[in-house]
Structure formats: structure tokens, C-alpha cells
Chains A and B, each alone.
Chain A
Amino acid sequence: VWIDRCVGRSFGKATLNSSGPVSGSGGVVVTEETARLRRAEAFGFRMRWLLIAASAVLVAAFPPRDPWPMAVLGVVILYNLCGWWILPRLTTEARGRASGLASLALLNVFAVGISFSYSYITESPGWLVFYFLPMSAALRFGVRASVPQALVAVAIDGAARYYAQGRYGLDVDLAALVLRGAVYTGIAVFAGVWAETVLRQRRQLDRAAAEAEARAQRLHALSEIQRERFARALDPREVHENVVQAAVELLGADVARVWIVERESGALGLTAEAGGKDVGAALDEAAAAKQAASAKQAVVAEADGGGYAAYAAMRYEGNVVGVLGVAGAGERPGQEQLDLLDALAASGAIAVENARLFGIWGESQALHRLDQLKSEFIGTISHELRTPLTAILGLAEILATMPAASPTVRTAAGEMLRSSEVMARLVDDLLTFAEFEKGDVVVRHEPVTVEPFLNGAVAGAARLPGGERLRLEPGDPALVASADPVRLRQVMSNLLANALRYAPSGPIVVRYMAEGDVVRIEVSDEGPGIGADEQARVWERFYRGRSVAGIAGERATGIGLAVVKALVEAQGGAVGLTSPPAGGTTFWLTLPAAVPARGTAIPAAAARR
């Protein structure tokens, strides 16, 4: 019992002492086999001390009649001395195995010595060594070792009994011998199974701890990479380089590559490579494309000439932005390595997408700045054109009306005046356009009596070529709109000039009327009309109608109607046109009425005003 308890305790200690299969500092994972050998070695050392102690107790309690015990003790001491000298000079593996085998061999030698020395006592405690033998074998080498060791124990036991029969005339009880053998084996099998169960659990725990630590280290490394390299880089090229560098370092791969999906074509393009060692399993673009298209998780392929290649799709919000591939000459990576590759690909995808969006943002900033500059430029040009235009327009008008001037001069000055008025309108449009582009347009709202206003606008445009075709149809003279007179003048002169220009003949009629809460103004011509497909587009800036091309010598800026629309809408109105296929176009605009339009006003609305 005492020996069994000692064995149990020493076994427990041995396993406890070897509990750290992972050495903490370097992150090196000690293999399971090495850990097992270390445990065996520790067990062997403890067993030796146990044997020395047991020998001393037996010699003191039962003085032997023969010199056997002294010889046994001598062997044990010699063995230990040799062990102390030899064992440190062996490798861990050899040491563990040698130590385990030597311990068992020594136990057998010890059993032979004890049983022969004390064979004169039929029921000597020395016989206990035979229970101990198969149990030691089972603990050290597993359950399967216990049966052969039990047979050896029975053989030694039997030999000692026959030796005692010859020397001391003691009887040999064969049945008892067999029974004892069965008991040795039974105890050994029980101990072996117990030890193996405990060892297995222990190993599982050790393995789990090792895995957890390794995973924690990898995650730490991954988060470091994300923080240090991915989050800080905003240049796409730099990000791609960082991803492949990280893959090589973190996964221990020989080579890593990143393919990025081109936005327009959807094709993969190799953008970065690291490692660059020529390995058997070359990373292959076709395989990467396949991975990008299908698998949810990293896939690994073994190369013909040894080595591996693994691919993981880089996904961002469900979209594949690229593929990360690694290859190495070594063993095929385990699931954990593949998970890590997936994690790296996922965080790489975020970094890649970030960099791309940053680039787009920068481009749009630059475009926006350019657009602003353009608007400012147009505004400045418009302003700078006004002063020289003042002189031309003013002098032309003075010359055209100067009584002293010859008719030729007056005619020429009249033409000059018309041209400079057109130019003045274009300059106004340019400035208005720039204002709308910059978004800082300000319109006034004041009552504008429609009839005199339109009379003035028509009179102004009447000086243009063909201006005699303009006619204002009489309407309600008391109709008042809420508008900005300067802006509305600009709108009307654009509409009238357009009508004169694109309707080469026929009257151009201006009408106005109340329509519920709004004032509606129409400009109708009998020109060729505007095709249905073009009707929406004529309001777009820089759009020049097809009919423009047909009119010789016409140069349209393409901003006139865009300015009209923007100005009317800024005044709280709307614009539109109707152009039946038969020809003729009516441009219309609405403005808020300043007082309720007579006859059509709703009483409640009248009361409100």
C-alpha cells in the first residue's frame, strides 16, 4: 500500500511537473511527444529514489541469508550514479526513452534480487514487488505493456519459489502462483487504464491551452498589423504591399500575392507580391479567380512538386474586392492557418476599400475645386466684360440716335447696338449660370405688374432682327406677379431671343393669364418645333438642340434655357414647353401671383392675403 501510494504520488507529480507543453516566452509549441518523454524521464528519476528507499527498508527488516540484497542495492546505486552522469549527455528524446526502459529493467533486476534473497520466507513482503512490476510497465508504456510484464513477473516469482524448494525445501503452490499472476495483471490493467485516461485528459487540456495561446498570439499579431499598417495607409499601392507583407510574416509563407478586382471590367489584376521565393506551388491567377467567384472560406491546393498554395477571397460588405494568395514549400497549412488567412483577407479588404474610397474622395474634392474655380472664373469674366461692353453699347446708342450722323453711320450704329445688347444678355446669362453653379443665387420678390413689364420686354427684344414679328396679346392689365424684375427681364429676353432665332418666320405671340394662384406667361412661335425626344433635354445646361445645327451661322452657348429654368424656379415658378409634331413651340412659365388673380381666386385664399 505504501509503495502504491508512493507510485501514485510520484506519477501525479511527474504529470504535474510536465504540465507546461508550451514554453511561454518564445511562443514555441513543444510537441506532444517531447512532453511525454519529459514526463517519462521525471517518472524514472522518482522511481530510482523509491527503489533505494524500499531496498533499505527491506534489508533492515529482514536480514537476508544470502548476499543477494547487497548485490541488488549495489546495482541500484551504480545505476543511479551512471544515470546522473549519462542522462544529461543524451538528447531529451533518447533520455526519456532510456530512462523509462532502464527504470523498468532495474525494477525487474530488483524483483529478481528481492525474491531470490527472501525466498526462505514464504510470505515475505518482498513478494509485493511483483504487484509493482506490471503496474510500473502500464504506467510507463501503457496497458498493453502490463501483460508481458505480468508474465515476466510470474516467471521470476516461479523461479524464486523453485529456487527456495531446492535450497530450503519449501513447497511450490502452482495454483497460488497462477492466481498471483492474474492479480498482478488485473491491478496493472486497472492502473494503466486509469493512467491513460488521466494522461489523455491532461494532454487534451495541454493541447487546448497551447492552441488558445497560439491563437491569442496570432490574433494579437493580426490586430497589430491592422492597427500599424492597414489603418494608417491610404495609398492603395501601399495598402496592397502591406497586405502581402503581413501574409508572409504572419503565415510564414514563402510568397504572397494580392489580386484586386478592377471595378470596370471585374477582372483580377495582380497588384502586389511579397516573398518572391520560387516555390513548387506557384500562385496562379486562374485559381485565385475561381476562389473569388465561389468559395466562402480559404481554399488550399497541394502543388505537384510539393508545397502548397492557399487562396482567400477579400470580401467587403459581401462583395469580393480581391484575392489574397499565399504559397510555401512546406507542409499544407492547417485549418487554423487558413482561418488566419481568411481573417487577414477580410481585414485587408477593409483597408483596400478604405484606400479606394479615400482616393475617390480626393478626386471628387479636386473636381469640386475645379468646378468652383470654373464658376468663379465665369463670374469674373462676366464682370470684366461689362465695362468694355458699356462703352460699346452706350456709344452705339448715342451714334444711332445722333441727328448729326449720316444715315449710314446711324444704321451701322444700330447694328452695333443690337449686337452689343445680345452680348450683354449673354454676359448676364454667364453670370447667372456661374451663380447657380456656385449655389449663391439671390432673387428678390417684389410685385411686378405683368402687362407693362411684358410690354417693356417685347419692346426691348423688338430691336433684334425680326423683332417686328413680336406681339403681346392683351390680358388682364391688373395682373401682378411676385418676381425679381431684373431676373424676369433676363428670362423674357432669353425666351424672346430664342423664339426670334429658331422660328425664322411667322408671328411670335406673348400671352399672359391668371391660373389659380399663379401667373402664366407663354411665348408661342410657328417655327419647326422641337422633337419629343429633345423636349426634356433642351433645359439641360450646355445642351444645344439639333435644330441649332441646321441654322447657318448660329452659335448657341447652350446655357440660355438652363438659366431660364433655374431663374424661374428660384423665383418659385416652373417652366415647360409644348411642341406638337405639326410644328410651332410654346414655351411657358409660371410665377406666384402677388394678388389673387381676379375671377379665378378661391375666396379663402383671397382672405388670407
Chain B
Amino acid sequence: LSRQDTILALMAAGTKRILVVDDDAAVRMVLQLAFERTEYALDAAEDGESALALARETCPDLMLLDIGMPGIDGLEVCRRLKADAATSGIKIVLLTARVQERDREIGLAAGADGYLTKPFSPKAVIAYVDEALAGS
């Protein structure tokens, strides 16, 4: 099956798709393992460039987006996706080691729908995602 077909199949089944973007493989692994036992389908990208490409191609329901990445950073990814009508519907949750109140304000100003800080409890992240996607 092609990727496009997979997406269509998932959408037909009502499965919510999540895109994880983090340059740290260990963090991606934690999230992949955590979401394995949920009904969400997870995809991952390791930098801003591929995150943008993947988001435009697959149009996930929610993104867990790191901020501090080489190249295009998470804030810029967030701004670009929110500026584009085709991708502005994607819920973006920033998941970052930047914990200061000022960083949270900057993140929300960039258009993010949520802000979570590292280190995180995988269970708490799943609960947060559940809540964020409950309405849609």
C-alpha cells in the first residue's frame, strides 16, 4: 500500500493521526512506544524541513512539535503551517525543553494550540492529546 492509501484507510477508519517532530531519536522513541498502545497512528519527522513536507502531504490531526531543532525551528514550522489555509487546521502542540513563561508566550503567539514541557510523563501527554482531539 502506498502512503496515500494508508492515510485514506486510516481516515476511513476514523483513526486520528499524529505527527511527532523532534531531532532527538530517544524522544521520538518514547512517544512512539507510548502511542503504540493507543488508537492513534503515529508518524515522525526529525527536522523542520521534513516536518513541513510531511505535514503538507499527510495533513495529520495533531502535531507534537519540538522547538529547538537545527534548520527551521519548531516556531517557524508552526507559523508556516498556521499561515497556510491547507494546513492551518492541524492542531499543533509544542513539546519543548523551553519551560519559561516567556517561551510559552512566544510559542502561543506563533499560533500553537498547546504547550507542553520536557521532561514529560508519556501518560500525561496521551491524556493531553485525548483532550485536545476530543472535540474534533
Contact = CB atoms under 8 A, between A and B. Distances in A.
B119 to A, nearest CB: 4
A383 B98 contact: yes
A383 B100 CA distance: 10
Contact of A398 (B34, B99, B119): B34
B33 A393 contact: no
25 contacts: A386-B117, A387-B24, A387-B27, A390-B26, A390-B30, A390-B120, A391-B24, A391-B27, A392-B119, A393-B119, A393-B120, A393-B121, A394-B31, A394-B33, A394-B121, A395-B26, A395-B29, A398-B33, A401-B123, A420-B119, A424-B119, A435-B100, A440-B102, A442-B101, A484-B101
A428 interface: yes
Given A387-B24, A387-B27, A391-B29, A398 B97 contact: no
A56 to B, nearest CB: 112
Of A386, A444, A486, most buried by chain B (CB within 10 Å of CB) is: A386
A462 interface: no
A513 interface: no
B66 to A, nearest CB: 9
Interface in A436-455: 440, 442-444
Nearest to A386: B97
B56 interface: no
Interface string A409-435: 000000000001000100110010001
Contacts of B33: 394-395, 398
A395 B26 CA distance: 9
A392 B119 CA distance: 9
A387 B30 contact: no
Of B24, B26, B31, most buried by chain A (CB within 10 Å of CB) is: B26
B34 A386 contact: no
Interface in B72-124: 97-102, 117-123
Contact of B97 (A390, A484, A486): A390
Given A390-B27, A390-B97, A484-B101, 19 more contacts: A383-B97, A383-B99, A384-B97, A387-B24, A387-B118, A390-B24, A390-B118, A391-B29, A394-B27, A394-B33, A394-B34, A394-B120, A397-B122, A397-B123, A398-B30, A398-B122, A442-B100, A444-B101, A486-B99
A599 interface: no
B101 A389 contact: no
Contact of B119 (A386, A401, A443, A444): A386
A500 B63 CA distance: 38
A420 B121 CA distance: 11
A591 to B, nearest CB: 17
A315 B29 CA distance: 73
A492 B45 CA distance: 36
Interface of A: 383-384, 386-395, 397-398, 401, 420, 424, 427-428, 431, 435, 440, 442-444, 484, 486
A427 B118 CA distance: 11
- Main DSSP-derived SS at the A contact region: helix
A483 to B, nearest CB: 13
B114 to A, nearest CB: 14
B99 A397 contact: no
B100 A387 contact: no
Contacts of B100: 431, 435, 442
Given A390-B27, A395-B29, A398-B33, A443 B101 contact: yes
A348 to B, nearest CB: 51
B118 A395 contact: no
Interface in B14-38: 24, 26-27, 29-31, 33-34
Given A387-B24, A428-B99, A397 B121 contact: yes
A484 B99 CA distance: 13
Contacts of B121: 393-394, 397
B30 A388 contact: no
A431 B101 CA distance: 12
Contacts of B34: 394, 398
A386 B31 CA distance: 15
A564 B74 CA distance: 32
A443 to B, nearest CB: 7
